[in-house]
Amino acid sequence: MQNDAVLTMRGICKRFPGTMALNHVDFTLRKGEIHALMGENGAGKSTLIKVLDAQNAGISTVYQEITLCPNLTVAENMFIGRDPGKSVHWKEYEKRAAAILDGLGIPARPRQELSRCSLAVQQMVAIARAVDMKCKVLILDEPTSSLDEKEVEMLFKLMRDLRARGVGIIFVTHFLEQVYEVSDRITVLRNGELVGEYAVADLPQVELVAKMMGKDLNDLADLEQVGQKSLGGQEVVYDARGLSSSESRPFDFSIRCGEVNGFTGLLGSGRSESVRAVFGADRVTGGKVQIKGKTVKISKPHDAMTHGIGYLPEDRKRDGIIADLSVRENIILALQVMKGFFHPMSRSQMEKFADEYIQALQIKTASQDTPIKSLSGGNQQKVILARWLLTHPDYLILDEPTRGIDVGTKLEIQKLVLKLAEENMSVTFISSEIEEMLRVCSRLIVMRDRKIVGELSGDDLTQGHVMKTIAGGEQ
Amino acid sequence: MKQKRKAFSGIGQLIIPLVALSLLILFNLFRDPGFFSIGVAVNSSGNKVLSGNLISVIDSASELAIISMGMTLVTAACGGQDISVGAVGSIAGAVFVKVLLGASSINGGIVVLGIIACCLATIAFKLFNGALVAVFRIQPMIATLILYSCGRSIAYWISGSATPQLNSPIISAMGMTIPGIPVPTPIFAVILVGLLLALLFKLTNTSLYTQTVGINQGAARLNGINPILIKLLSFVILGVCVAVAAVIGVCRMGNLSHKTLLVDIEMDAILAVAIGGNNLGGGKFRISGSILGAYIIQMLTTTLYAMNVPPVNVKAYKAVVIVIIVVAGSPVVKSKVTAMWNRLRSGGSTAAVQKGVRG
Ligand SMILES: Nc1ncnc2c1ncn2[C@@H]1O[C@H](COP(=O)(O)OP(=O)(O)OP(=O)(O)O)[C@@H](O)[C@H]1O
Ligand SMILES: [Mg+2]
């Protein structure tokens, strides 16, 4: 077995100010295997990958946070920095890019500017770039976090092909089913320490979760109990007729007090664009909006905030985090803006709020002063969530709030959403995971081709129904 | 331990400029132990004033220090620099002199009026720059290039003559010393501007908003901040700084020379911001760093002159030292040093990676 290894790491340590990110971790990757690297947020997965990648040569990596250049084209992003020294034939590269994009079913044109693509497509492009390079080791750090089932299937097919060609693949994800679908082995990390390495067949899902969280199996049972769904009261909190923006077609939408609803649809179906229109994130081009029965004008995010709307954006890195600012500043930002330019909070008040939410959401950070960019991906997401919870909105829009969040915390967040609804907050919840939406939403709005094509509630809320409506089966 | 690290990280950005300043001071002490001696002299208007190299450095860095403060904000918010501050300063000086000479005699009231007119003029020009940057998304350097090249002509056109003279005790009190107070007045102006900015940061969210806009403009907007207003605000503040610096410059000379007033100050101001450890690409900033930077630049100039370096060579030597300071503060060097420090402290933790033979 041992001489099958393409990569062996022994006693890896990595220390950051205030945290021991890796503490004597061993890791072995064999030829032609898919090896899942598992652990909670902040366990040290991405750090291990970065240490590995520094060894270069034959390793190709897709990082958790997309590291492509948004203002270059898709083809340029796929081929830039390859074959240094050779002259560049863009015409030929564009052809090759087109072929690869086609083969992977990525809905992008080679000449399209990357920033014009959705986050999911960007992620696919990053993957395409990595797999096209001739490599012996492929590392995928949460590659599926913004992909739909269809894209995930395509990616898995690709991974299996590469495995058959003898490539060793390291796969990081928080989706347990995906681990069991494609991986051969699992290495579990917890708090920067190695828990163990297991063959997939030897480690049932419940045990994997227990190993990741360091909890007993019994403790997990009550975690699974997500609360009662909330249908909401009678009062309509938000109502839009014919709302349209530069990125979305006119649509009608409303939400009642204490209701949790959601937009669903395939990638590019316009679900994110719709909620962006509600929040005034894109240029609003028309429509009539009422809040609690009063007609209002929401043309920019600030308007929405003053009317009690909060919005957690889909793309954490581009729209969410203020990378160089501290965790504290990132948490209080939206509340501070709502208080106004001339009413800065006192330092102690900020510290109190930040502490409160770091505790409540169990954000793993060395201190409040740590810049948010040095937190793990999932913990950054929690900070942005904290930012909007702190504003206590009447209506909270959550676009992929659990992206990159570990299983345990995911359940906690779902519970939290239902609890907030019980306290009369209205919530719109978007997720590319349908199960998750079925668990929290009492009403689902289905979109296809940037239009609302159906609405499901009550007994219709089953996976089958949703899939059928999404795909276009008539009801 | 934890507390210590907190305090340490707070001034982290200032370490390099502080070290640079200390080295300069040590170098001078070594070269000439009397370099920093402070004496009392009687100046041309018969006042008792403090004298000595140290006082002269702090005094003559005043204009630069004031403009660097404003430049820091523009840099932070817009991710670029204003290269027209010298030229607009010359316009400001012309406006100030015009108002003063328009009156029958120079008294307190007319000086205040002159300062207000001067501020309004710079604010107007800076709003023009700001609009190009914030609304039309033009690179700050390009947006300010226009005024950089024609500002001094506008100043000449306003003043109408080569070097209008201002002879008044009020003017020399403002530019040099107030009778009875041995410390040069410009130093008080720096303190005043600094305090006003500190007050602004205390009473408003200018600092948080500016950094947010500079780091991630799109996210700033999604959090309800108006990036255009914040960028305009930074230019307005810079405008006021330029006006104050111009008034000091005019009063110091007692005349207006549109060609030499605040000449080349834009480059020194940008350098001061950089030496202060601020990111020229915008985002996080520290005004105190830029102020330190301004004094370092002036100290360097004074040192070189004191060493009898011919004026033509001064710029070259200055350039060399500044390159060293800026490189020492660069992210590459910083991360190398930090890594070395960590290795020293942890006593060399083990890490072994092998790549398999086959594959
Ligand atoms: N540049 C850095 N500076 C300081 N601390 C860091 C830095 N990078 C990572 N850390 C810390 O190291 C720990 C491990 O982070 P890492 O990103 O490896 O987690 P992860 O397992 O990938 O988590 P996630 O599932 O959230 O992506 C975290 O506590 C994080 O705060
Ligand atoms: Mg990670």
pLDDT of residue A53: 81
Q: What is the DSSP letter of A27?
A: E
Mean per-residue pLDDT, A105-129: 83
Contacts of B6 in chain A (CB under 8 A): 367, 369
Contacts of B206 in chain A (CB under 8 A): 341
- The preferred substitution site among A13, A37, A47, A49 for testing ligand 1, maximizing ligand atoms within 8 Å of CB, is A47
CA distance, residue A64 to nearest chain B CA (Å) = 19
pLDDT of residue A1: 47
Q: Whole-angstrom Cα distance, residue B262 to residue B246?
A: 7
Q: For ligand 1, say whether the CB of A248 is within 6 Å of any of its atoms.
A: no
Mean per-residue pLDDT, A213-220: 67
- When CB atoms are compared, the residue of B5, B216, B354 closest to A8 is B354
Q: For ligand 1, say whether the CB of A23 is within 6 Å of any of its atoms.
A: no
Kindly identify which residue of chain A lies nearest to residue B201, measuring between CA atoms: A344
Across A146-155, A284-293, B105-114, B274-283, least confident range:
A146-155
- The ligand 1 atom at the shortest distance from the C-alpha of residue A380 is 26
Q: Whole-angstrom Cα distance, residue A377 to residue A379?
A: 5
Query: What are the tens digits of pLDDT across the range B230-265?
Result: 999 999 999 999 999 999 999 999 988 888 999 999
CA distance, residue B233 to nearest chain A CA (Å) = 12
Q: Rounded to the nearest whole angstrom, what is the distance from the C-alpha of residue A123 to the centroid of ligand 1?
A: 20
Nearest to A327, CA basis, from A70, A42, A50 = A42
**Residue B3 pLDDT greater than 60, yes or no:** no
Q: Rounded to the nearest whole angstrom, what is the distance from the C-alpha of residue A374 to the centroid of ligand 2?
A: 11
Q: What is the DSSP letter of A371?
A: B
- The ligand 1 atom at the shortest distance from the C-alpha of residue A189 is 21
pLDDT of residue A475: 43
Q: For ligand 1, say whether the CB of A41 is within 6 Å of any of its atoms.
A: yes
Confidence band of A3 (pLDDT split at 50, 70, 90) = low
Q: For ligand 1, say whether the CB of A47 is within 6 Å of any of its atoms.
A: yes
B3, B137, B208, B223, best to mutate vs chain A, most A CBs in 10 Å: B223
- The preferred substitution site among A46, A367, A380 for testing ligand 1, maximizing ligand atoms within 8 Å of CB, is A46
Query: Phi and psi for A413 in degrees, rounded to 5?
Result: -70, -40
Query: What are the tens digits of pLDDT across the range B101-143?
Result: 988 888 899 999 999 999 999 999 999 999 999 999 999 999 9
- The preferred substitution site among A15, A16, A145 for testing ligand 1, maximizing ligand atoms within 8 Å of CB, is A16
Q: Rounded to the nearest whole angstrom, what is the distance from the C-alpha of residue A226 to the centroid of ligand 2?
A: 26
Nearest to A46, CA basis, from A411, A463, A379, A363 = A379
| Strand partners for A140 | A62, A171
Contacts of B221 in chain A (CB under 8 A): 300-301
CA distance, residue B78 to nearest chain A CA (Å) = 15
Nearest to A97, CA basis, from A127, A74, A119 = A74
**Is A325's CB within 8 Å of B211's CB?**
yes
Q: Rounded to the nearest whole angstrom, what is the distance from the C-alpha of residue A377 to the centroid of ligand 2?
A: 5
Query: Phi and psi for A287 in degrees, rounded to 5?
Result: 115, 165
CB B353 within 8 A of CB A9: yes
Q: Please name each of the domains of chain A with its CATH number.
A: 2-203 (3.40.50.300), 236-471 (3.40.50.300)
CA distance, residue B145 to nearest chain A CA (Å) = 26
**Is A168's CB within 8 Å of B353's CB?**
no
The pTM for the full model equals 0.88
ipTM over 0.90: no
Q: For ligand 1, say whether the CB of A379 is within 6 Å of any of its atoms.
A: yes
Rounded to 5 degrees, what angle do the CA atoms B92, B97, B103 make?
135
pLDDT of residue A216: 66
CB A244 within 8 A of CB A268: no
Nearest to A325, CA basis, from A276, A399, A387 = A387
Query: What are the tens digits of pLDDT across the range A152-201?
Result: 888 888 889 888 888 899 999 998 889 999 999 999 999 999 999 999 99
Q: Whole-angstrom Cα distance, residue B139 to residue A63?
A: 31
Query: What are the tens digits of pLDDT across the range B58-73?
Result: 999 999 999 999 999 9
Mean per-residue pLDDT, A363-372: 94
Kindly identify which residue of chain B lies nearest to residue A330, measuring between CA atoms: B212
**Is B355's CB within 8 Å of A7's CB?**
yes
**Is B355's CB within 8 Å of A342's CB?**
no
**Is B215's CB within 8 Å of A325's CB?**
yes
**Strands of A191-235, DSSP E:** 193-199
Confidence band of B359 (pLDDT split at 50, 70, 90) = very low
Query: What are the tens digits of pLDDT across the range B164-210?
Result: 888 889 999 999 889 889 999 999 999 999 999 999 999 999 999 99
CB contact residues (below 8 A), chain B span 250-289, against chain A: 283-284
**Inter-chain Cβ pairs, chain A and chain B, closer than 8 A:** 128
Q: Higher-confidence residue: B97 or B34?
A: B97
- The ligand 1 atom at the shortest distance from the C-alpha of residue A375 is 31
- When CB atoms are compared, the residue of A5, A15, A311 closest to B346 is A15
Q: For ligand 1, say whether the CB of A191 is within 6 Å of any of its atoms.
A: no
Sheet hosting strand A193-199, strand order edge to edge: A59-62, A137-141, A168-172, A34-38, A185-190, A193-199
CA distance, residue B303 to nearest chain A CA (Å) = 37
Confidence band of B356 (pLDDT split at 50, 70, 90) = very low
CA distance, residue A462 to nearest chain B CA (Å) = 34
For A442, half-sphere exposure in the C-beta direction (CA atoms, 13 angstrom radius) is 19
Mean per-residue pLDDT, A416-428: 92
Q: Whole-angstrom Cα distance, residue B241 to residue A54?
A: 47
Average pLDDT, chain A: 87
pLDDT of residue B349: 43
Whether the CB of A342 is below 8 Å from some CB of chain B: the reply is yes
A199's tokens: 């063959």
CB B254 within 8 A of CB B166: yes
Mean per-residue pLDDT, A189-214: 90
CA distance, residue A107 to nearest chain B CA (Å) = 25
Q: Please name each of the domains of chain B with its CATH number.
A: 2-310 (1.10.3470)
Ligand that comes closest to the CA of residue A38: 1
| Strand partners for A197 | A187
**Residue A371 pLDDT greater than 70, yes or no:** yes
Residue with CA nearest ligand 1 atom 29: A42
Confidence band of B348 (pLDDT split at 50, 70, 90) = very low
Mean per-residue pLDDT, A20-48: 92
Average pLDDT, chain B: 88
**Residue B357 pLDDT greater than 50, yes or no:** no
Q: Rounded to the nearest whole angstrom, what is the distance from the C-alpha of residue B191 to the centroid of ligand 2?
A: 47
Confidence band of B352 (pLDDT split at 50, 70, 90) = very low
Q: For ligand 1, say whether the CB of A391 is within 6 Å of any of its atoms.
A: no
Ligand that comes closest to the CA of residue A406: 1
- Tabulate helix, strand, coil % of chain A (nearest 5): 40, 25, 35
- Percent of chain A residues topping a pLDDT of 70: 93
Contacts of B216 in chain A (CB under 8 A): 318, 321-323
CA B339 from centroid of its chain's CA atoms: 32
Mean per-residue pLDDT, A437-464: 89
**Residue B344 pLDDT greater than 80, yes or no:** no
Count Cβ atoms within 10 A of the Cβ of residue B36 and give its class: 0-12 exposed, 13-18 middle, 19 or more buried.
middle
B173's tokens: 């009190």
Q: For ligand 1, say whether the CB of A16 is within 6 Å of any of its atoms.
A: yes
pLDDT of residue B354: 42
* Amino acid letter, B225: I
pLDDT of residue A75: 87
- The ligand 1 atom at the shortest distance from the C-alpha of residue A47 is 18
Whether the CB of B4 is below 8 Å from some CB of chain A: the reply is no
Q: How many CB atoms lie within 10 A of CB B340?
A: 10
Q: Whole-angstrom Cα distance, residue A376 to residue A63?
A: 12
Which DSSP string do the residues of A65-129 spell out, in sequence order? Answer: S--S-TTSBHHHHHHTTSSTTSPP-HHHHHHHHHHHHHHHT----TTSBGGGS-HHHHHHHHHHH
Q: Rounded to the nearest whole angstrom, what is the distance from the C-alpha of residue A212 to the centroid of ligand 2?
A: 14
Rounded to 5 degrees, what angle do the CA atoms B330, B334, B336 make?
125
Q: Rounded to the nearest whole angstrom, what is the distance from the C-alpha of residue B352 to the centroid of ligand 1?
A: 20
CB contact residues (below 8 A), chain A span 51-80, against chain B: 51-52, 55, 57-58
**Is A367's CB within 8 Å of B2's CB?**
yes
Mean per-residue pLDDT, B67-83: 96
Across A178-192, A372-386, A453-467, least confident range:
A453-467
B63's tokens: 């204009």
Query: What are the tens digits of pLDDT across the range A294-328?
Result: 999 999 999 999 999 999 999 888 999 999 999 99
pLDDT of residue B129: 96
Residue with CA nearest ligand 1 atom 25: A41
CB A159 within 8 A of CB A99: no
Nearest to A36, CA basis, from A149, A207, A175, A210 = A175
Query: What are the tens digits of pLDDT across the range A321-337?
Result: 999 999 999 999 999 99
Query: Phi and psi for B254 in degrees, rounded to 5?
Result: 75, 10
